[in-house]
Amino acid sequence: MNKQIVFRDLGLKDYKEVWDYQESLFKEILDIKIANRREEKEEVTPNYFLFVEHPHVYTLGKSGDFSNLLLNEKQLTDKGASYYKINRGGDITYHGPGQVVGYPILDLENFFTDIHKYLRFLEEAIIRTLAEYGLQCERSEGETGVWLGVGTPFARKICAMGVRASRWVTMHGFALNVNSDLGYFDNIIPCGIKDKAVTSLNVELGVVKVDEEEVKSKIKKHFTALFEAQIKD
């Protein structure tokens, strides 16, 4: 099993460009696994973790409801936003500047073969990261992601998640609102959930801006600890 993970920070990149890049890494791993089984080889599969920030974009998961996007094509253009129907789980979400997006492209057979556990580990990495900022975040039963104020009238989501997996290879991931313009969430019913709000780290801390590089460093630390992985540069 290969527990090394190659971390790459892509900076600010167009959503479709990064989606295509994810697909290429995903295919690379799948091709190795298929060849190993056909030819009875034991070639090691790589693991990747991408950090990225996207320009304004709305993405709808494969089982999502298009009516949860509250803008027409002209309004999208006016707001400088794009839209994609994509191949992850979950409903609609927003990505944009000030958000830390993480895409782990892992062969889970290098770690464990349990998608439920994988999602819980993604949530736990974010929960532990935000705890370092003094925030008590938690899960909301039946709703993937990371929340504050669960069980109160002030429940609010700070991190959305949606993944795809095939032959135990993952792609897509999480989007943590760090310094996000939360006004863009007003144009959707986030994740198809109507009765809960959305928040960001800077809002919860009452500051103008949080250091996003510091946030990524903390996520990286907790992610590698949970997966008992090693970082490969």
- Please tell me whether 185 is known to bind a ligand: no
- Please tell me whether 161 is known to bind a ligand: yes
Contact 125, 219 (CB under 8 A): yes
Q: What are phi and psi of 164, to 5 degrees?
A: -125, 145
- Please tell me whether 173 is known to bind a ligand: yes
Q: What are phi and psi of 99, to 5 degrees?
A: -110, 135
Contact 136, 146 (CB under 8 A): no
- Please tell me whether 160 is known to bind a ligand: yes
- Please tell me whether 92 is known to bind a ligand: yes
- Please tell me whether 95 is known to bind a ligand: yes
150 burial class (0-12, 13-18, 19+ CB within 10 angstroms)? Answer: middle
- Please tell me whether 35 is known to bind a ligand: no
- Please tell me whether 93 is known to bind a ligand: yes
Report how far residue 205's alpha carbon sits from residue 228's, in angstroms, rounded to the nearest whole number. Answer: 30
User: Residue 84 CB: number of other CB atoms within 10 A?
Assistant: 13
Contact 92, 188 (CB under 8 A): yes
- Please tell me whether 56 is known to bind a ligand: no
Report how far residue 184's alpha carbon sits from residue 179's, in angstroms, rounded to the nearest whole number. Answer: 12
- Please tell me whether 184 is known to bind a ligand: no
Report how far residue 69's alpha carbon sits from residue 102's, in angstroms, rounded to the nearest whole number. Answer: 23
- Please tell me whether 88 is known to bind a ligand: yes
Q: Where are the beta strands (DSSP E) in 73-198?
A: 82-85, 92-95, 99-105, 138-140, 143-148, 156-166, 169-177, 197-198
- Catalytic, 137? Answer no
- Please tell me whether 155 is known to bind a ligand: no
Contact 183, 71 (CB under 8 A): no
**Which entry of 18, 50, 191, 219 is annotated as an active-site residue?**
191
Report how far residue 113's alpha carbon sits from residue 230's, in angstroms, rounded to the nearest whole number. Answer: 19
List residues forming the annotated binding site: 88-95, 160-162, 173-175
Annotated catalytic residues are: 191
List residues forming the annotated binding site for substrate: 88-95, 160-162, 173-175
